[in-house]
Structure 1
């Protein structure tokens, strides 16, 4: 018969790190979509060309700046998430195992 396996649980730190990596991968597509948003302004029914005006130029540069800030924030959080297991490494000598078991039960 097939061996019965228990449920697969991922550690929180690795799960969060993977989700941060996913967010960093999706960020360029989100920023590109927001960057193209001014193309919806103006056009049909108005006397202005599609995406024209100072508002559209301001929008493009604000989205660009927000994209850089979001990438920096996500990269910083990812770097912090990768160094977190190294900080927890000294507790592997047996100290604190009981407290982790109690937290898992309660």
Structure 2
């Protein structure tokens, strides 16, 4: 039997940066799923969704994905700049 495990401590900024990278990796999967939703829409009968509405939906999803990617990339750049600045301060302080 093993003894108690030592807890792994992650800095808050490191944790948030990793979750942000995970989100950026997940965005294409989310986009694919959202783009496939119009394929599930009913195409027959009186209460159908028009082609125009489907195109508006697709371009709206596309725009939101671009916007989410932009915001995520800016946030990641800011986080990496902060990390680099902190690392340079640590190396400058050492003799």
TM-score, with structure 1 as normaliser:
0.70
| Residue number in structure 2 paired with 1:23 | 23
5+ residue gaps in structure 1? Answer: 95-106
Q: What SS does the aligned partner of 2:10 have?
A: coil
Q: Distance in 1 between matches of 2:53 and 2:3?
A: 63
Give the aligned partner of residue 14 of structure 1.
Answer: 14
| Structure whose alpha-carbon radius of gyration is higher | 1
Aligned length: 91
**Which segments of 5 or more consecutive residues in structure 2 lack a partner in the other structure?**
none
Q: Which position in structure 2 is the counterpart of 1:63? A: 61
Q: Distance in 2 between matches of 1:80 and 1:88?
A: 12
- 8 A contact 1:24–1:74 mirrored in 2: yes
With the length of structure 2 as denominator, give the TM-score of the two structures.
Answer: 0.77
Q: CA RMSD of the aligned region, Å?
A: 2.6
> 1:104 — aligned with what?
none
Q: Does 1:85 align with 2:83?
A: yes
